[in-house]
Amino acid sequence: MEFKPADPEWLRKQLEGQQDILTAAAERANEYYKSKTCPECGSPTYPVLDTKNPFMADGLTPKCLLQCTYCKTLFEPDTEIRVETGEAYEPLATVADLYVQDLED
């Protein structure tokens, strides 16, 4: 089946006089996604369309998963359930490593 986009002029006529409810919903979703950090490493994330479940029953905007900009972990933003683990995240040093290092010096 081929996807054929609607004529933009026809769409403008159909939407003329209608209230814009999508812009506010999209802005709320973007702010929510921006507020989340990676549960693995704490780095910033960016939204990725959830192609398996693209729409929520009560939502106006597509459902997104979040992917970490650093370790590439892909997770569900509400539950933080990992869908795909990214590159292995290893901290540069743990508190225990720093403590042992201080004792050795």
Pairing assessment for the beta strands 64-68 and 74-75 based on DSSP bridges: antiparallel
Query: In the predicted model, what is the mean pLDDT of residues 55-83?
Result: 89
Q: Residues 1-48: pLDDT tens digits?
A: 687 889 999 999 999 999 988 899 999 999 999 999 999 889 999 999
> Quick one: pLDDT at residue 91?
52
Q: pTM score > 0.75 for this model?
A: no
Nearest to 62 by CA among 98, 20, 30: 30
> Quick one: pLDDT at residue 55?
82
Q: Measured between alpha carbons, how far is 73 from 67 in angstroms, rounded to an integer?
A: 6
Tell me: pLDDT of 101 over 60.
no
Q: Measured between alpha carbons, how far is 105 from 40 in angstroms, rounded to an integer?
A: 31
| CA within 13 Å, CB half, 88 | 2
